Structure 1
Amino acid sequence: MDKLWLIIRREYLNKVRNRTFVIMTFVSPLIFIGVILLIGWLTSINSSETRQVTLLDQSASGYGQLFEDNSDFEYQRLDNVELENAIAISESDGNYALIHLTDDDQNKVKATIYSNDSPSTSFINSMEEKLSKKATENNLVEKGVDLQDLEDARVKAKVILQTYSGVVSSKASSWVKIALGGAAGYLLMMFIIIYGNMVMRSVIEEKTNRIVEIIVSSVKPIYLMLGKITGTSLAGITQFAIWVILGFILIMVGSAVFGVEAFQNPANQEMVSQAQNMDEMQLIVNDIMQLPLATMIICFFVYFIGGYFLYAAIYTAIGAAVDSETDTQQFMLPVILPLMLAIYVGFFSVMDNPNGTVAVIFSYIPLTSPIVMLMRIPFGEITWWQLTLSILLLYTSIIFVAYLAAKIYRIGILMYGKKTNWKELYKWLKY
């Protein structure tokens, strides 16, 4: 065991003292935050741009009056102009689009948009909503309906979400759970891929340099493999912790200096739109406090460690079986596929039905359970025996996979100049 700790210490210090590791540790957050702020700044510039739209209204009811200038669009109205001339004018002026309003055979409004490129979906939806609302009102008036009476009779239902125990939640509670579960699962997947590849490259480098031949003369291959995995994981955790701290600091500084709302994205627009008043914001805070936060934090580290060691053992075996990183491509699909499948199941099955058959089964399978179970936990419908069974299967599989990986590692690190395939790996497992 003393040699194991020496190997762990050696691997850790070699990683954290490496110049590339140090540079990427401190430069990566700068690049990442810089890209986020740049995207936010470009988005703010793009959203502040006012686009010119040509409007040719040839409808009998004067639907063109619905289109008023705003911060997004300014309308250039054409009167007594033929359609061909209107198209030529709009194109020569470089306008965003031309809206042509006419009446169809049933005296209903028909709108045609002419443009070089397809207009945005929001622009089309906004126009359809205006025209449909006005056309509906005109139809009601023709049928003798008083619009004011109709508006006065309109009632907006208020929906309150409440648990059986009496806890009131917000309409955005599902989005909060999706965001937290998705972030945890995606973070774990990225950590496995990044630092699993780091372990694999380290094994290939030592094998290529023939350093491993000297090391295995005094250390058992299983200890060397476990020490390499543990040391690299500790270096990765160190780097990740620095990234989190620096990233938080840089976001705060960048937002204060540039005034860029860097975290706006279409995925959370519904949640943001539902939280426009303080009451709703308070409900969202209550939703977060009602989540099983202690369970989420503990399980994150449990699955984080278990998932990493499971896949790191596989990455180590692959690194020992090949002579160069190029040769690893044939073995990577079975490693990446379960991770991608777990993300897919998480976002399309867990978010829709966290206790569905698909979500439950994949939260037990060791190769997918770290991601899928982390996505299920925020929904708070998991029993203690489900968690226990999932963790037990995960850590039992680590022992089994590490045993198989050690057999491949023991032979592979001393094999040179021969292309390894799946059939060859199967033979090694028999030795």
Structure 2
Amino acid sequence: MSIISLIIKREFVAKVRNKSFIVMTFLSPLLFVGIAAFVGYLSTMKADTKRVAIHDETGLFVNEFNALNSENGEYVYHDLSMIDVKFLKDSITNESYEGLLYIPKVTNAKDLENKIQFISNESPSISFVENLQDIVAKKLTKDNFEKAKLDTLAIHEAQAQVSISQVKASGEESVKGLNEIKIAIGGSFGYLIMMFIIIYGNMVMRSVIEEKTNRIVEIIISSVKPFQLMMGKIIGTSLAGLLQFSIWAIIGLTLMFAASAFLGIDATPVTKIHPEMMNSSLQGFALNAKTIIIGLQSLPIATIFFSFVVYFIGGYFLYSSFYAAIGAAVDSETDSQQFLLPIIMPLVLAVYIGFFTVINDPHGTIATVFSMIPLTSPIVMLMRIPFGVPWWQIAISITILFATFFFVVWFASKIYRVGILMYGKKPTWKELYKWLKY
């Protein structure tokens, strides 16, 4: 068995047998599912009903708000137009009501657009204020139509409802919402790669720091080359991470289904939908189901999964080399913070480019360039692939990624070779540069 294989086996066994690894492997899914179940339970609880006083001196809007009380919403409106406004303001101060909607009497209904007030001790939510504005605006608009002797029914029927169908140049029918599915698929894979790099890259760094602090590395380095030791640590830790990640996925899904089936808890937030809206949505879904399936089948599923595996391996090895070099250069995790920011920033940049540039223009210059840069390509390219990327661009991106990986391994091994035996001194960027010349 080769030396690297022995190091890989040693790192893998050491990680898997570690008590903290075992505890977190089985405890993390329990915590995650517990939190998800708790959030699901909270979402099923009915929110406290809030009382809102209405003082309408015009008498135009009382019926509009009374109609809302029959919907069993979060807010209940009380018509207190016969009570003095000053007394109602005191009730707000004493927290008898959540707030007071004051509609003054005016000679011209146009003046109401800027004179209505909502008085409360605390600032209301934006959605609540917008809902109030919408109710008042619709009522005033309806009254304006009636005063102008306009047929509101005819106006409503005259409003056009435009729906533009999407068809590819080849003649295949596309489906609305397919781009959102592409974004979700690409974003999920890109996010998984980023989290895996950060979590298990730090694990590689901590492993190097631990052996360096315990002086174990002095014995190991007498039998193996620094390059072999670094590669063995990266691969061994990645295998342990994949095992842990797989266990998390299996336990998490099992517990989620168990919680939903046996406890009657829905682990996803529940949104109340009106029955008519639900029926309409179901009918629309039934009509478009065939088109959606065809659209999903048109996605490059094989290319997506193949690229995920390749970029997963390439991206993790690339960044883990940096983490291993940093671990060799410092004596503690505290000292490593100054070197971690330049590593994390490309990952953050890739996420921002993915969600703000690829979404709007997946084949644009910015998206294409950053899908070729090796530090950002594992995330950006994965977000582009669902939109359709020429095979030659993927091939060039992968080639650059792995070529950069081998260069970085050579680069990091020079730092690793010197730093692994350095103690008691905090390195600077200038000293790291000198180590590259040794």
Q: TM-score, normalising length from structure 2? A: 0.91
The one-letter code sitting in structure 1 at the alignment partner of 2:53 is T
In structure 2, do the counterparts of structure 1 residues 335 and 103 end up closer, same or farther at CA, with 3 Å as the change threshold? farther
* Range 208-217 or range 162-171, more displaced: 162-171
Within the candidate set 325, 340, 349, 2:357 is matched to: 349
1:37-61: CA deviation from partner (whole Å, max 9, x where unpaired): 222222332x54432222111225x
* 1:149 to partner: Cα distance: 2.2
Matched, 1:126 2:131: yes
Change (3 A) 1:301 1:201: same
Most deviating of 200-209 and 78-87? 78-87
Deviation at 1:283, TM superposition (A): 4.2
Report 1:241-320 matches (<5 A). 241-264=246-269, 276-277=282-283, 278-320=286-328
Which residue is 1:20 aligned to? 20
Q: Is the 8 A contact 1:90 1:98 kept in 2?
A: yes
Per the TM alignment, residue 160 of structure 1 is displaced from its structure 2 partner at its CA by 2.4
1:141 Cα deviation from its structure 2 partner: 1.3
Long gaps (5+) in structure 2:
272-276
Residue in 2 aligned with 1:6?
6
Contact 2:322 2:412 in 1 (8 A): yes
Q: Look up the SS of the partner of 1:98 in the other structure.
A: strand
Q: What SS does the aligned partner of 1:300 have?
A: helix
Residue 52 (structure 2) aligns with: 53
Report the secondary structure of 1:302's partner residue: helix
Quick check: 1:64–1:101 contact (8 Å CA) kept in 2? no
Contact persistence 1:275–1:281 (CA under 8 A): no
CA change 1:365–1:221 in 2 (3 A) is: same
Map of 1:54-93 to 2, 5 A cutoff? 54-60=53-59, 62-67=60-65, 68-69=68-69, 70-72=71-73, 73-93=75-95
The aligned runs of 1:125-164 (5 Å cut-off) are 125-164=130-169
Is the deviation greater in 297-306 or in 243-252?
243-252
Distance in 2 (alpha carbons) for counterparts of 1:40 and 1:284: 29
Q: Do the aligned partners of 1:11 and 1:227 also contact (CA within 8 Å) in 2? A: yes
DSSP 3-state at the match of 2:104: strand
CA distance in 1, matches of 2:241, 2:358: 29
Match of 1:35 in 2: 35
Q: What is the alpha-carbon distance in structure 2 between the residues aligned to residue 265 and residue 220 of structure 1?
A: 57
| Separation (CA, whole Å) in 1 of partners of 2:436 and 2:340 | 19
Deviation at 1:367, TM superposition (A): 0.4
Shift of 1:261: 3.9
| CA distance in 2 between partners of 1:191 and 1:349 (Å) | 23
- Superposition pairs for residues 162-241 of structure 1, below 5 Å? 162-241=167-246
SS of residue in 2 equivalent to 1:430: coil
Distance (whole Å) between structure 1 residues aligned to residue 166 and residue 17 of structure 2: 53
Q: Secondary structure at the match of 1:162?
A: coil
SS at match of 1:161: coil
**Stretch moving more, 396-405 or 174-183:** 174-183
Q: Give the CA deviation at 1:93.
A: 4.7
Distance 1:314 1:122, change over 3 A: same
| Residues 306-315 or 184-193, more deviating | 184-193
Q: Alpha carbons of 1:174 and 1:121: their partners in 2 closer, same or farther (altered >3 Å)? A: farther
Unaligned runs of 5+ in 1: 267-271
Deviation at 1:285, TM superposition (A): 4.0
Kindly indicate whether the alpha-carbon contact (under 8 Å) linking 2:39 and 2:268 is maintained by their aligned counterparts in 1: no
Superposed CA offset, 1:205-237 (max 9, x none): 000001011111111111000000000000000
- Of residues 399, 408, 413, the one that matches 2:415 is 408
Q: Once the two structures are superposed, what CA deviation does each residue of 1:334-368 show, in whole Å capped at 9, x if it has no partner?
A: 01100110011111111111112111111111000
CA-to-partner distance for each residue in 1:169-221, whole Å, 9 max, x for gaps? 43322221121111111111110000000000000000000101111111111
CA distance in 2, matches of 1:377, 1:126: 40
For 2:48 and 2:382, how far apart are their aligned partners in 1?
Answer: 41
Distance 2:330 2:123 in 1: 50
Residues 178 and 265 of structure 1, relative CA distance in 2, 3 Å threshold: farther
Residues 265/196 of structure 1: CA separation in 2 closer, same or farther (3 Å cut): farther
* Distance in structure 2 (CA, Å) of the matches to 1:9 and 1:394: 26
Query: Relative to structure 1, is the Cα distance of residues 275 and 41 closer, same or farther in structure 2, using a 3 angstrom cutoff?
Result: same
Show the 5 A alignment for 1:374-393. Answer: 374-380=382-388, 382-393=389-400
Instruction: Give the Cα separation in 2 of the matches to 1:369 and 1:12.
Output: 28
Q: Look up the SS of the partner of 2:360 in the other structure.
A: coil
Cα deviation for residue 256 of structure 1 reads 2.5
Q: Which residue of 2 aligns with 1:269?
A: none
Deviations 1:228-247 (A, max 9, x none): 00000000001111111111
Q: Distance in 1 between matches of 2:314 and 2:249?
A: 21
- Residue 407 of structure 2 aligns to a residue whose secondary structure is helix
Deviations 1:386-430 (A, max 9, x none): 101110110000000000100011111111111111011000000
- Taking structure 1 as the reference length, the TM-score comes to 0.93
Per-residue Cα deviation, 1:116-166 (whole angstroms, up to 9, x for no partner): 222222222222222111111111111110112223333423332332333
> In structure 1, what is the Cα distance between the partners aligned to 2:260 and 2:117?
42
Residues paired across the two proteins, number: 423
Q: Which moved more, 1:195-204 or 1:289-298?
A: 289-298
Candidates 417, 420, 436, aligned match of 1:429: 436
